[in-house]
């Protein structure tokens, strides 16, 4: 189905509506800004994990993977309670009263990244691509920037993130060049019940898991 405009100027894809996020945010513009701020703050998660994760795990007497899994399970439990009562909090979208929220999907995606590729070479750029790339694309669309330009700008930003990882953490450069557009494309589907916070992490993560065994051969 080709995109079109409704009478309210809401662009439609073949999947779900592309709405102005401010209009659907609980709290309006302030709620939208809070949501964006939380999204950007996700870039601090790899720092906390790699710099303080082990000490936190030792302090509470469990392994680091158990800490990650426990946080995700708690997030899902709270999400289940929220859905049970149909609650939306300040900064959430109004439609999230009846479906798993973007925050919960993000917790699942980040949890899988840290459990399956707990290495700075991959965890840092995967999570940073979500934390910075997704808000950029959302704001460009909100300003009605053409899709082609949104894709180019987002890919350049995400590529810069992966190239920093190449320099800082030894991420294979060929994998970085491949995954930058994949991360961008993974944000694009407008699925009804799966948020792009999940697809932007889980799709590139699957590719990392499939291709990482070949990293030494390609070095």
Q: What pLDDT, in 10s, does the model give residues 39-50?
A: 999 999 999 999
Determine which of 19-28, 31-40, 53-62, 208-217 has the lowest per-residue pLDDT on average. Answer: 19-28
4 vs 30 pLDDT, higher one: 30
**Rounded mean pLDDT, 95-119:** 94
16 domain-assigned: no
- Pinpoint the alpha helices (H) of the chain: 21-24, 28-41, 44-60, 64-85, 102-116, 120-128, 134-142, 147-169, 173-187, 196-211, 215-218
Strand partners, 12: 4, 17
The whole domain housing 147 covers 22-218
pLDDT confidence of 219, banded at 50, 70, 90?
low
9 domain-assigned: no
pLDDT tens string 140-177? 998 999 999 999 999 999 999 999 999 999 999 999 99
Token pair for residue 79? 């999400």
- Radius of gyration (C-alpha) of the chain in whole angstroms: 18
pLDDT tens string 192-204? 788 999 999 999 9
4 domain-assigned: no
* pLDDT score of 3: 39
54 domain-assigned: yes
Token pair for residue 37? 């701020």
12 domain-assigned: no
d(CA 135, CA 195): 13
Is residue 185 scored above 90 in pLDDT?
Answer: yes
Is residue 14 scored above 50 in pLDDT?
Answer: no
214 domain-assigned: yes
Give the chain's length: 219
Number of domains comprising the chain: 1
78 domain-assigned: yes
* pLDDT score of 19: 63
17 domain-assigned: no
Helices 147-169 & 120-128 angle (0-180, nearest 10): 160
């Amino acid at each position: 189905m080709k995109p079109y405009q409704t009478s309210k100027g809401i662009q439609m894809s073949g999947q779900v509506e592309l709405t102005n996020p401010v209009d659907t945010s609980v709290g309006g513009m302030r709620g939208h800004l809070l949501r964006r701020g939380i999204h950007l703050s996700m870039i601090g998660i790899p720092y906390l994990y790699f710099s303080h994760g082990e000490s936190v795990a030792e302090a509470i007497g469990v392994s680091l993977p158990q800490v990650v899994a426990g946080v995700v399970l708690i997030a899902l439990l709270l999400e289940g309670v929220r859905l049970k009562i149909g609650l939306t909090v300040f900064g959430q979208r109004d439609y999230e009263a009846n479906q798993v929220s973007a925050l919960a999907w993000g917790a699942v995606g980040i949890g899988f990244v840290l459990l399956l590729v707990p290495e700075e070479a991959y965890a840092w750029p995967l999570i940073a691509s979500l934390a910075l790339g997704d808000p950029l694309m959302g704001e460009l669309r909100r300003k009605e920037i053409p899709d082609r330009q949104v894709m180019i700008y987002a890919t350049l930003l995400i590529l810069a993130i992966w190239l920093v990882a190449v320099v800082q953490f030894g991420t294979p450069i060929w994998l970085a060049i491949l995954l930058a557009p994949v991360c961008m494309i993974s944000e694009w589907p407008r699925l009804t019940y799966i948020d792009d916070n999940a697809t932007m992490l889980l799709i590139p993560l699957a590719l990392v898991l499939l291709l990482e065994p070949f990293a030494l051969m390609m070095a």
